[in-house]
Structure 1
């Protein structure tokens, strides 16, 4: 499932392409590359080279390759520049520049049995094969069939008579599955997935080898979970677009689309690394698209900057082998299967002092980004739809020391958003800064974990995990420091809708030494502990304070000195601004204000008589998390939603914004059962998430989504969804509607359950709080972590494609302008129509914040790019946030 990525990528390209051209010119020579050029040309603008490789064969330190729009099917291997004269590889700015890792497959012929085939040599290890049909991912043939979203997979369930390396399943089709890959999500507590190879089959039975045979917790057999599916067999080909590659015959088989192959294009992956910087240093790569391939630096790389990449379908694989011993930092054992494929997937930033920034990374069976070595920076990136194979491959895998990982938005991951694998990393995890990241929609293919997860026995001395948000995830915890890890400092983090806990330090019958959590805020959707430190044989020096949350803070009282737990606010009424929408900052009169204790280096920027409890200081600008690229802000603000079930049961829990409350239908799933949601007012959205929490049986076996503006006239089915993941997504063309109906289309053995329903749009929701420093574009003033600098007259901030409905603009600002200053709200362009003018009143200083509002001449609705333009003086105002509501 592509989740609107083409429109997002096109928008990002438009935003970054023109600056790339200006930045590309360096002190050396500039060569031009274009598909219409020739490799014996001079490389001038009027006589460009044909290939990037030819350009790179000519460059020296300080030189630049400017690449014109087009598709380049080649592997790019830049030489090294120097610290003072890097080599630059950049998009020219006249359209998308795509490094394509695939080659066309042609010569399709009828192969009998409803199949077509083409003779082709796919050079990659067969486990890494990937096929694309009409520029979309084609699924490898599998049983049982699944939908187009690999994060919403359909599982078969083995019978309880199954054993460790044997499956009984009366539903298994009678076919020869020998040699197929069996993918398992099974065991007593399946915190990872595993694969094996089928060795023998008979009706309703199969034997296999591989997987993690240390049972429990990970194995097949008569366990709590007995889920599996089969791939890598010609017998599985039964729906259009599915493929199978016979590695002996070098023949690719496919079920053709309806009407045959005429007019359709098929490509197959040929190059794992479209941009290979393994032996390169001091290279700048800017504004390139990567399709069906990825980028990597090497262990000796330094000074590489990858900026404004759009990397899509970066990694694909079909098996989860045990990592080789040569990759391990600690002695091997069967549990290391969780680290499978971490080192051979994703965009890889290895070495020292390299940077990945302002990039969109999406569609990966494994990692989104792997960072290893020391002193690398990963910042301002949008990473989504990764890790669907179910190992510990996350949005960002961090190995090593002194890395900076900040301001990234990480969404829709199979397991964690951010992770470190001690099997590969070793126990030293020093000096890393992980801050201002937004982590959501994690744990799509697992159940025991969290958006932020580190394990095991790690020494986090000097590492700070601060100012992150973790929410709307199907695991157990928001921030999880697992199994004997110590010396981790967490502070000013925020979590809601993360299951049983906000933060969990798991001693697990071992030490959990000197772990800290300070000034963090926890909200709805946490039903166990706001913070828990448990199971530790030694928790010496642990310290938890200034926590605001709905549930207790608890720490095992072992060690010398004993853990400190104090100055925490545990209440259902903390005075948050809007807990359901994650706005956990205090309002006037909140019991958190001036109620905290002073902690050196943590409680800074204090206003009043004492620090506030929680992650935000009342009166200070509100800091934000995540990136400012298009797509980084999508969640539709939750309002006064109501739900009606067709069976008459009370369905309010499905729309209360709390992942831990649940609506359960009155009977087992049958086609026609429905849930109708009234949003209270029209909203604009193009994705619906139906969340069943961590339930493993109540997800719909199939459903359709329709919408209505008036509750009477309904659209047809905008999307049809199947699969069995905890959260199922329906994606459809953008709609503006007040009512949403989810109707079951298939039968299922269990009653339908819904814990939470969320909506998303292609852009921010202007009725939510739009953080000024997260504007898609800013002209003039600098961005800060929590607000802009002072805008002068003519300077502005802009939000791309915001969903707008309302007649009142409110801006939180700080200003010293005595008279004549204003902020103009303009639509669709900085010089577009003026929708409102807000007179700016002085707040006394540029550090004194105040909400100022104006009623719009007419109510706004629809989707617009919004620009707030400063007028009237040299120093008009600093901006914290804005909103447009009724």
Structure 2
């Protein structure tokens, strides 16, 4: 009996403890009351109140309806086993809105109404009309709902960089546009810029802003205003510009909203909302909090300085708008959602329709998984669907598409970007990629198993784009198509960038500004390419297959293209034992992009490859170290410090004391240096330890490698001539490697400058090609450029023949005068046909060997596009050769079907003589939908390649390819 009583007592105690630990479920409703019990029958009103009550393991269900509150949850903490959860009531949709409904409108006149409104977000104001964004009063009017279609007004090259002249501006009095915001996309169109207009001259139709550049917060302004290609713009004005349905304006002085509704409509019969809060939901310094199933309207959702939190199943629309007035490369404001802290996750969510970023990620080991992010950056800036900073983030199984510029900016280190479907980048800007990094140390970031396709930009187009001065990236198992430019681009200089087992349905290449630019320990290995990969003197090319027929590899067949099994080079950690060529191996069925019907469970796991650079902070600009030495330990006199070199990627490294950005300076008369412990080395592995250095005033420098405290290898440099050069040593690890440490030591007087330190393994068959750089002195002064062709060339209407005066084709791409006798060109037009004749002088007759290839054999090219800046038009290219053969190229993005029609409709004739040859084209412009009326402007350029001198001439130097007609000149049909 005693035993029974004790057992019952024990059971009661256990039940009591269990009851005390049971999680509690609360309910919140838009019609609730925070003074109620928080139950389904008596719900609370706000999440903020619920958060003050909830304990680890509790759940709050959120009833459907609209919540007009800005929720900030601070220092709320669950545990890994018992997270605090906020979730939508099953089958219902709670909407957290940054807007308040505006009701009680008064008619002003006709279809224009007004409403007294006591709140304003200033530059961030936004109006929604029946759930769709209105348009802040502007000229010219916007006639469609596509946020990424500016519908701007074209302008021609201006004479000064602080005034825009446009004869098409409407008749308005002097000073009318003062205070309006001018948005411009001009010149090379890398990015937009905006400025507040300071004055308007009605007689000359001139918008001026002479003082705006003095106070800019965003760097270079007014790009392209004086460039010959002009651009397009629009103006956000005052309430007097309200003249179309959906246009609105907030008068700050009157505290009044003005709106034009559709003809005959009653504003009070519409649902009109005006943004009042910029953030709907923020987790700040929280741990193990989970939020799911919410819709966010006209506001952001943010995780800041938090750990192990989850956002799932969200729909975030119209999260940020911007009036502008002080923008260039950056918008100067964060408009998108933010994910910061450590180990936080955003997944299974949609983010769409934002003027800036979709989501920006910082901190460490955060993840974006299975998300659909689209229609971002409708300002045309350097904002993007996903922006990464920090380290070790995972972006997996996402669909990113339709954005003003790039679809991803993966700054920071050691990220994994995988299984993403990335497309329709470049809806507004030019010269960009699906992903884009520049002057960046990726710290081993991996782009893998992605689809990148359909670059919508005009001008230079890339897929995966590693721009100048970029290092430590892996690009493997990706498929890239319909880029109409360069599928995977490694710009120079670069280091430790590896492109392995990708399928490229176009071509790949590199570009740099200086002949000595290196691609040291950069490789293209096991790639399948429809075109070719451009060569470089010290990049590594192994087991790539070029010129694959399109019938075998195209956008319909790339998953089935599994060629060359066993022909590829084995790259440990990246390929299997018998690799093939391209992205897919036999048995692979992987797909990219989001799928809300499935929930992938990816893990953060970097490839275990010896190619990885083991040096942390080797570029001295990892942001986590905030400009400090971080893992580098100063030694000797301890004079080591981080410095920043002036200029960016357009200035040569010979002009500064860093390769780019940050670097290391060692100074003083006493020996001084730095050292760093390395991660564990692989057994029996060949490694290379390299630095870039510059010595002055008698300084000497050596690098050393220690194992278990013992010196095992060293190298030295004593040429203190102020020239950047590479210092390296090679080392093979033992069967059982010990603890390794690298050191950099300066001795002697003077200074030593160090940058881009690397300690990476070498794979047999893809060893670095030495030297990394032939040391060069600072380049001699450039030849002075020839004057730009700012005025259109008038093309006469002639039924036959040509005008007497010839145009000289004599410019190098940098606009300097080329050596030798120039080529000469004549232009005329008649009945919709453009005629061009070009005489190319040579020292002897051109070779006719039947192997025609542009920039390899003698040839001429015509490049042209409609100059209407109010829309994007393709650029067409025609190549002609001395044997009479010609071709129509899609290199500049012309649709293949239209290019084929042009090839059929155009005609070409070549005449060879003892001292050169003559080329003559007839081009029916209507075939490519270019108007032929008098006064039609056409972007135009001529290119000539002279094989005997390997000389590339342009009629108008573009600084790049001849087909960059937006940087060339204009012809006008008379």
TM-score (norm 1): 0.62
State the SS of the aligned residue for 2:73: coil
Q: Does the CA-based 8 Å contact 1:495-1:522 persist in structure 2?
A: yes
How much does 1:110 deviate? 2.6
- In 2 relative to 1, CA 358–216 (structure 1 residues): closer, same or farther, beyond 3 Å? closer
User: What's 1:107 paired with?
Assistant: 104
- In 2 relative to 1, CA 217–73 (structure 1 residues): closer, same or farther, beyond 3 Å? closer
- In 2 relative to 1, CA 630–553 (structure 1 residues): closer, same or farther, beyond 3 Å? same
Deviation by residue 1:276-315 (Cα, 9 ceiling, x = unmatched): 11343321111100011110111x2111110110111111
Q: Does the CA-based 8 Å contact 2:105-2:268 persist in structure 1?
A: no
Cα distance in 2, alignment partners of residues 377 and 89 from structure 1: 20
Q: Give runs of aligned pairs for residues 619-634 of structure 1, distance below 5 A.
A: 620-629=587-596
State the SS of the aligned residue for 1:228: strand
Residue 595 of structure 1 is aligned with which of 560, 567, 576?
Answer: 567
User: What's 2:186 paired with?
Assistant: 186
User: What's 1:285 paired with?
Assistant: 291
Deviation by residue 1:20-66 (Cα, 9 ceiling, x = unmatched): xxxxxx95321111233322221112221223233223223332211
- In 2 relative to 1, CA 27–86 (structure 1 residues): closer, same or farther, beyond 3 Å? farther
Q: Does the CA-based 8 Å contact 2:440-2:471 persist in structure 1?
A: yes
Q: Does the CA-based 8 Å contact 1:586-1:592 persist in structure 2?
A: no
Q: Does the CA-based 8 Å contact 2:478-2:502 persist in structure 1?
A: yes
Q: 358-367 vs 162-171, which deviates more?
A: 162-171
Q: Does the CA-based 8 Å contact 2:154-2:870 persist in structure 1?
A: no
Deviation by residue 1:673-697 (Cα, 9 ceiling, x = unmatched): xxxxxxxxxxxxxxxxxxxx99674
User: What's 2:59 paired with?
Assistant: 64
Deviation by residue 1:126-168 (Cα, 9 ceiling, x = unmatched): 1100001111111111111122211012111224344211111
State the SS of the aligned residue for 1:235: helix
How much does 1:752 deviate? 12
User: What's 1:177 paired with?
Assistant: 177
1:568 corresponds to 2:544? yes
How much does 1:103 deviate? 0.2
How much does 1:631 deviate? 13
Q: Does the CA-based 8 Å contact 2:384-2:407 persist in structure 1?
A: yes
How much does 1:447 deviate? 0.9
Q: Give runs of aligned pairs for residues 718-729 of structure 1, distance below 5 A.
A: none
Kindly report the root-mean-square deviation, in angstroms, between the aligned alpha carbons of the 2 structures. 3.2
1:150 corresponds to 2:130? no
How much does 1:339 deviate? 3.0
Residue 97 of structure 1 is aligned with which of 90, 94, 102?
Answer: 94
How much does 1:268 deviate? 0.4
- In 2 relative to 1, CA 301–365 (structure 1 residues): closer, same or farther, beyond 3 Å? same
**How many aligned positions are there?**
588
Cα distance in 2, alignment partners of residues 353 and 701 from structure 1: 43
- In 2 relative to 1, CA 482–288 (structure 1 residues): closer, same or farther, beyond 3 Å? same
Q: Give runs of aligned pairs for residues 373-392 of structure 1, distance below 5 A.
A: 373-392=363-382
Deviation by residue 1:484-528 (Cα, 9 ceiling, x = unmatched): 011111111110011211111111xxx3111110000011xx3xx
User: What's 2:315 paired with?
Assistant: 310
How much does 1:611 deviate? 1.3
State the SS of the aligned residue for 2:470: coil
Q: Give runs of aligned pairs for residues 463-482 of structure 1, distance below 5 A.
A: 463-475=445-457, 476-482=461-467
Largest Rg, 1 or 2: 2
- In 2 relative to 1, CA 364–27 (structure 1 residues): closer, same or farther, beyond 3 Å? farther
Cα distance in 1, alignment partners of residues 423 and 572 from structure 2: 30
Q: Give runs of aligned pairs for residues 280-429 of structure 1, distance below 5 A.
A: 280-298=286-304, 300-319=305-324, 321=326, 337-341=328-332, 344-420=334-410, 429=412
How much does 1:338 deviate? 1.6
Unaligned runs of 5+ in 1: 1-25, 323-336, 422-428, 633-665, 669-692, 704-724, 728-743, 754-886
Cα distance in 1, alignment partners of residues 488 and 498 from structure 2: 10
Q: Give runs of aligned pairs for residues 134-145 of structure 1, distance below 5 A.
A: 134-145=130-141
- In 2 relative to 1, CA 694–135 (structure 1 residues): closer, same or farther, beyond 3 Å? farther
Residue 39 of structure 1 is aligned with which of 16, 34, 38?
Answer: 34
User: What's 1:872 paired with?
Assistant: none
State the SS of the aligned residue for 1:90: strand
User: What's 1:263 paired with?
Assistant: 269
Q: Does the CA-based 8 Å contact 1:574-1:586 persist in structure 2?
A: no
- In 2 relative to 1, CA 747–201 (structure 1 residues): closer, same or farther, beyond 3 Å? farther
Cα distance in 2, alignment partners of residues 531 and 83 from structure 1: 50
- In 2 relative to 1, CA 215–452 (structure 1 residues): closer, same or farther, beyond 3 Å? closer
How much does 1:750 deviate? 6.4
User: What's 1:54 paired with?
Assistant: 49
Cα distance in 1, alignment partners of residues 306 and 326 from structure 2: 28
Residue 532 of structure 1 is aligned with which of 507, 510, 514?
Answer: 510
Unaligned runs of 5+ in 2: 1-20, 600-830, 834-862, 874-892, 896-928, 940-974
User: What's 2:844 paired with?
Assistant: none
State the SS of the aligned residue for 1:57: helix
User: What's 2:228 paired with?
Assistant: 223
- In 2 relative to 1, CA 32–696 (structure 1 residues): closer, same or farther, beyond 3 Å? farther
Q: Does the CA-based 8 Å contact 1:394-1:416 persist in structure 2?
A: yes
How much does 1:170 deviate? 1.1
Q: Does the CA-based 8 Å contact 1:700-1:752 persist in structure 2?
A: no
Cα distance in 1, alignment partners of residues 79 and 159 from structure 2: 60
